[in-house]
Chains A and B, each alone.
Chain A
Amino acid sequence: MENILTVENLSKEYEGFSLDEVNFQLPKGTIMGLVGENGAGKTTIIKLILNLIKKKMGRIQVFGLDNIEDELKIKSRIGVVLDESSFHDNLVARDISIIMKNIYDSWDKDLFLDYLSRFKLPKDKRIKEYSKGMKMKLSIAVALSHNPQLLILDEPTAGLDPIVRSEILDIFLEFIQDEERSILFSTHITSDLDKVADYITFIHNGGVIFSESMDGLAENYGIIKCGISDFNKIDRTDIVTYRKNNFGYEVLVTNKEKNRYKYKDLVMDNANLEDIMLFHIRGKRIEGFNN
């Protein structure tokens, strides 16, 4: 499968935080969720892809082109929504269309007006008077209206109510229908990812814990719930992390099917994305093993 975005050994250093050798690929026609806690490095990765900040090392390719050498060529083909960035308060949606027409060669005014009416965004109301959800929908409408092949969105669903969120997720699914276009979006709302994501890249402390397909994750990870005596019988190499509570142990394991057979006396549950994230971040590791 052809990749629309490739990130190789990407590193960046800040005082007190560093992004360390991040690798992942985003195939055509798919949606990738970039997940992790606040401050894990999601926004930093997005800003590096957009060359808003300077990388320390590594290579980023979009549409097979280098993100710095062919910066403008790439940027005319991507739509971007940034978390903290927005339009000036005093503008109205109509103004934005005029501005964008003079920035993007491929700006489609009619498409933009379509999105505005579909999202129920008033054309002549000042952005200042828009709600948070309306501002986000406006940003998404703008990002879509020059027919981009890749959407990059930083926390597009954060702080929005479930109705607006599901509207936005529907648009995402519609966008990738033709199998030529892709979406990379960061979030920490795992239920959104359960609904739309094909791939998950999990960032923690500036590093990639895993970058895997959603199906792969579901097949790979399982949770064993057991008491102390059973816990001691589990092979240490099979344990990713474990959590201890009043009722016993919960153990995150990989190779779910193989281990289900291996430990057939124990109860093995499926692990969802949230479980996997929580176990990775908050679970204890067995000393000396790093799987």
Chain B
Amino acid sequence: MKGLIIKDLLNLKKGIGTILYLIIIYSFFTYTTGNSGMIIGIIAFLMTSFTITSMSYDDMAKWDSYALAMPISRKNIVLSKYLLSLLLGIIGTILATICAFAIVYIKGDFWGVETILELLLTAYTVFAISIVYISIVIPLIYRFGVEKARILMVGSFILPTGIGYLLYKMGFRLPSIEVLKVMLYLSPLFLVLILILSSYIAYSIYNKKDI
């Protein structure tokens, strides 16, 4: 397992390096626009997406058949991808949040506890969305391959947005603050559940596959 994660990190070294440039560019944007949510959103999300890049690298090198010829189980190959996403997602969120704090502070927009809470909430929401996203995408990749899954990924964005829009048209409105708060508190549980379900599905697809 450790070997697999190290393999992915070594492969992604270059890509993760470019993230540092992005952080500088977006810090600048954030500074001028004052929208500190943006930097968190983009950085955290890009970091999580590196898992998909790593899977496409594996594909190109036909790595999986080689990995499975070594003392590595199919279960660990699948789990390593989820661990990688979590790892990258957490690192990305923390990095971006620190940047956002720094910018807010430098700009003098710091209003105490409220600002901190707002930024933390943004960071958490972005992280949560990244996790949901990756939980949809990883099983799709195992089922359809990276290339086809890329197209389906776009679909996995359009669909919820479309449903949301339809609901809005049909007269649904955002629930009250109290309901949202309950949803927020329950969301970690929901995230854990979705991760377990997703990894279970991904594993059962992968386990049946001829490599």
A is bound by B? yes
**Chain A residues in contact with chain B, CB under 8 A?**
47, 50-54, 71-73, 75-76, 78, 80, 82, 84-91, 95, 98-104, 152
In the assembled complex, the CB of B52 is this many whole angstroms from the nearest CB of chain A, namely 15
Which residues of B192-211 have CB atoms within 8 Å of chain A's CB atoms? Answer: 208, 210-211
- Whether A102 touches B3, Cβ cut-off 8 Å, given contacts A52-B69, A80-B69, is yes
Which A residues are CB-close (under 8 A) to B68? 50-52
Chain A residues, CB < 8 A from B6: 98-99, 102
CA distance A52 to B211 in the complex (A): 5
Asked if B61 is an interface residue, CB under 8 A from chain A, the answer is yes
Is B14 touching A90 in the complex (CB atoms < 8 A)? yes
B43-77 to A contact mask, C-beta < 8 Å, 1/0? 00000000000000110111101101111110000
| Interface residue SS majority, chain B | helix
Q: In the complex the two chains form, is B69's CB within 8 Å of A76's CB?
A: no
Contact B66 A75 (CB under 8 A): no
* Count of residues in B whose CB is under 8 Å from the partner chain: 26
Q: Are B65 and A75 in contact (CB under 8 A)?
A: no
Residues of A within 8 A of B211 (CB): 47, 52-53
Q: Which residues of A contact B11 (CB under 8 A)?
A: 88, 90-91
A86, B63: Cα distance in complex, Å: 6
By beta carbon, the residue of chain A nearest B211 is: A52
Q: A90–B53 Cα gap in the complex (Å)?
A: 13
Q: Apart from A88-B11, A91-B10, A99-B7, what 9 extra A-B contacts exist at CB < 8 Å? A: A52-B69, A52-B210, A73-B71, A75-B69, A86-B61, A86-B62, A87-B66, A88-B58, A99-B10
Distance, CA A50 to CA B67, complexed state (A): 11
**A85, B63: Cα distance in complex, Å:** 6
Q: Are B65 and A103 in contact (CB under 8 A)?
A: no
Q: Could you list 24 examples of A-B contacts with CB < 8 Å?
A: A47-B65, A47-B210, A71-B73, A72-B71, A72-B73, A76-B71, A80-B70, A82-B65, A82-B66, A85-B62, A85-B63, A86-B62, A86-B66, A87-B63, A89-B60, A90-B13, A90-B14, A91-B11, A95-B10, A99-B6, A101-B3, A102-B3, A102-B6, A104-B71
B70/A104 in contact, CB under 8 A? yes
Shortest beta-carbon distance from A58 to chain B in Å: 16
B2 close to A (CB within 8 Å): yes
Q: How far is the CA of A152 from the CA of B3 in the complex (A)?
A: 22
Cross-chain contact of B61 among A73, A89, A100, A152 (Cβ < 8 A): A89
